[in-house]
């Protein structure tokens, strides 16, 4: 087996943005048996570079989740290399009944968007081990940013996809994102006490436990801020976003989606009241 402290090869996709930071990092591990983690967008130049770096030895293509900046290149890379694509499921896999209903009623995904055509060749279960003579990875179901999000433990390191980033907080946008799941996934990674986290966007996180605690605190503080605003007056997610966030109007829809994620989690805890089924326009109040 390879030394888990060894650095993976990184190839940066040319898709920088406010959501992806410098772009999507595609990771390669192994020498004679190469695995690709998050092939990235369907960019021919990027995927050709990944295939060349694999030296005709790519045998696994692993996808953390079915957002286009992570998974859209998987099918093309599979055709180039003959390697199968492994993931938790398609773009809808793992959704709760509530999130499935919201999606059916037209609540669309935020951010880079769902890769609705994504179809892995093999499904990975939580805790499943994928191994070759070169390396061993353990699939960890870590929903929150996306219902079917996987992280991959590699020795003392974890490829954490979009669950944790060092330069930004993670977008949690229902029906893809679920704040309750996200907080539980942060706790799960913290319990594993990894030596390092390897996000798909941005630099490695050399001190995982403080960063995980910081992100959890940030979300709990935001929930407290929303509850404080509701004690002043009831409101919907868009209304609360306008009251809480000091952002330009074009960014308010994203802020409202984030507030909705918090309101859903608070509703599941019984911390807020609502007169009807939850939607983007539901008026929430405190009991």
The burial class, CB within 10 Å (0-12 / 13-18 / 19+), for 248 is exposed
Give the contacts of 250 (CB within 8 A, at least 6 positions apart). Answer: none
The pTM for the full model equals 0.94
The burial class, CB within 10 Å (0-12 / 13-18 / 19+), for 201 is buried
User: Model confidence over 166-222: pLDDT tens digits?
Assistant: 999 998 999 999 999 999 999 999 999 999 999 999 999 999 999 999 999 999 999
Answer yes or no: is pLDDT of 111 > 70.
no
Specify the pLDDT at position 68: 96
Whether 87 and 120 have beta carbons less than 8 Å apart is answered as yes
Answer yes or no: is pLDDT of 271 > 60.
yes
CATH class entry, domain 207-287: mainly alpha
**Other beta carbons less than 10 A from residue 185's beta carbon:** 24
Place of tokens 């929150």: 144
In the three-class reduction of DSSP (H, G, I as helix; E, B as strand; rest coil), residue 90 is classed as coil
Question: Can you list the alpha helix ranges (DSSP code H) found in the chain?
Answer: 44-53, 68-71, 74-81, 97-104, 179-192, 208-232, 237-244, 252-268
In the three-class reduction of DSSP (H, G, I as helix; E, B as strand; rest coil), residue 86 is classed as strand
Answer yes or no: is pLDDT of 50 > 70.
yes
For residue 126, list its beta bridge partners. Answer: none
Long-range (24+ apart) CB contacts under 8 A made by 239-248 are 240/284
Specify the pLDDT at position 10: 98
Answer yes or no: is pLDDT of 110 > 60.
no
Under the banding of pLDDT at 50, 70 and 90, the label for residue 108 is low
For residue 139, list its beta bridge partners. Answer: 152
Give the contacts of 264 (CB within 8 A, at least 6 positions apart). Answer: 98, 174, 178, 179, 180, 278
Whether 98 and 263 have beta carbons less than 8 Å apart is answered as no
**Other beta carbons less than 10 A from residue 31's beta carbon:** 12
Whether 87 and 71 have beta carbons less than 8 Å apart is answered as yes
User: Model confidence over 161-173: pLDDT tens digits?
Assistant: 999 999 999 989 9
Under the banding of pLDDT at 50, 70 and 90, the label for residue 5 is low
> Where is average pLDDT lowest: 2-11, 25-34, 47-56?
2-11
The secondary structure of residue 32, as a DSSP letter, is S
Q: Is the dihedral of CA 125, 48, 168, 103 positive or negative?
A: negative
Please give the structure tokens belonging to residue 283. 């008026």
**Other beta carbons less than 10 A from residue 58's beta carbon:** 23
Specify the pLDDT at position 277: 86
Please give the structure tokens belonging to residue 141. 């179901």
Under the banding of pLDDT at 50, 70 and 90, the label for residue 145 is very high
Q: Any idea where the domains of the chain sit in the sequence? A: 9-206, 207-287
Under the banding of pLDDT at 50, 70 and 90, the label for residue 4 is very low
Residues in the chain, overall count: 287
User: Model confidence over 242-255: pLDDT tens digits?
Assistant: 999 988 888 888 88
Dist. CA 255–CA 229, nearest whole Å: 15
Specify the pLDDT at position 3: 46
Specify the pLDDT at position 113: 86
User: Model confidence over 12-24: pLDDT tens digits?
Assistant: 999 999 889 999 9
pLDDT, averaged across the chain: 94
CATH class entry, domain 9-206: alpha beta
Specify the pLDDT at position 248: 85
> How far, in Å, are 41, 194, 196, 198 from residue 155 at the CA level?
27, 9, 10, 12
Place of tokens 């979009």: 162
């Amino acid at each position: 087996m390879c030394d888990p402290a060894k650095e993976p090869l990184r190839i940066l996709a040319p898709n920088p943005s406010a959501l992806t930071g410098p772009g999507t990092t595609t990771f390669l591990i192994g020498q004679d048996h190469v695995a690709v983690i998050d092939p990235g967008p369907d960019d021919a130049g990027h995927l050709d570079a990944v295939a060349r770096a694999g030296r005709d030895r790519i045998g696994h293509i692993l996808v953390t989740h079915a957002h286009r900046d992570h998974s859209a290149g998987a099918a093309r890379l599979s055709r180039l290399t003959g390697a199968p694509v492994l993931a938790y499921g398609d773009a809808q896999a793992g959704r709760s009944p509530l999130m499935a209903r919201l999606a059916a009623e037209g609540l669309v995904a935020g951010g880079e968007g769902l890769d609705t055509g994504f179809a892995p060749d093999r499904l990975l279960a939580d805790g499943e081990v994928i191994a070759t003579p070169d390396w061993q990875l353990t699939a960890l179901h870590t929903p929150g940013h996306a219902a079917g999000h996987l992280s991959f433990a590699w020795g003392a390191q974890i490829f954490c996809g979009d669950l944790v980033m060092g330069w930004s907080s993670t977008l949690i946008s229902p029906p893809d994102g679920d704040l309750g799941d996200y907080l539980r996934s942060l706790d799960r990674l913290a319990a594993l006490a990894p030596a390092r986290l390897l996000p798909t966007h941005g630099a490695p996180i050399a001190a995982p436990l403080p960063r995980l605690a910081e992100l959890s605190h940030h979300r709990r503080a935001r929930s407290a801020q929303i509850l404080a605003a509701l004690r002043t007056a009831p409101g919907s997610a868009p209304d609360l976003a306008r009251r809480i966030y000091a952002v330009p109007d074009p960014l308010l829809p994203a802020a409202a989606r984030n507030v909705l994620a918090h309101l859903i989690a608070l509703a599941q805890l019984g911390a807020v009241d609502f007169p009807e089924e939850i939607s983007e326009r539901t008026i929430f109040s405190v009991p």
